[in-house]
Copies of this chain bind each other. A is one copy, B any other.
């Protein structure tokens, strides 16, 4: 149909394809944090819900696994930091992709953001000494601000 054709054209646009690719990559990266959290909860035996500790027995035996663990909390902070930074990228990046930027410029923005967030995760989980994590956070943040500037310049309608 005609509408289908238009949708196909949207996904056939190279800038939009680049957005689709990098948005999916950073979302998949963020989703991995759930698995890392589960891994640390199981290996550190540190759970948040009583029903999650039932397999360790009943009563006091299971209750001692209802606790926080530094490694689990570190992954959770990383996951929340991802949410705080990837949500703006998703929204602003989509609008930026629709503002007809040059493909090479768009790719540069998307690649820096994705690389920064992937490096940020390693810096957080290893952990690397500061300012590794701080700088990778700032790189993703600045790229998002630059894209927001272009969106507002192109589409401003207050």
Contacts and interface: CB of A to CB of B under 8 A. Distances in A.
Q: Is the interface of A mostly helix, strand, loop or mixed?
A: helix
B17 A10 contact: no
Contacts of A154: 11, 20
A7 B156 contact: no
A87 interface: yes
A2 interface: yes
A148 B9 contact: no
A23 interface: yes
Given A27-B88, A48-B77, A158 B21 contact: yes
Count identical subunits in the complex.
3
A154 B155 CA distance: 25
Nearest to A73: B48
B129 A20 contact: no
A31 interface: yes
Contacts of A86: 87
Contacts of A137: 34
List 3 A-B pairs, minimum CB-CB distance, nearest first. A17-B157, A20-B155, A3-B9
24 contacts: A1-B13, A3-B10, A6-B10, A7-B13, A7-B15, A11-B95, A11-B98, A11-B99, A11-B154, A17-B157, A20-B154, A23-B95, A24-B148, A31-B84, A31-B141, A31-B145, A49-B74, A49-B77, A49-B127, A51-B128, A54-B129, A55-B130, A87-B90, A90-B90
Given A6-B6, A7-B10, A7-B100, 13 more contacts: A1-B13, A2-B9, A21-B151, A23-B92, A28-B148, A31-B88, A31-B141, A31-B144, A31-B145, A34-B141, A49-B77, A80-B80, A83-B83
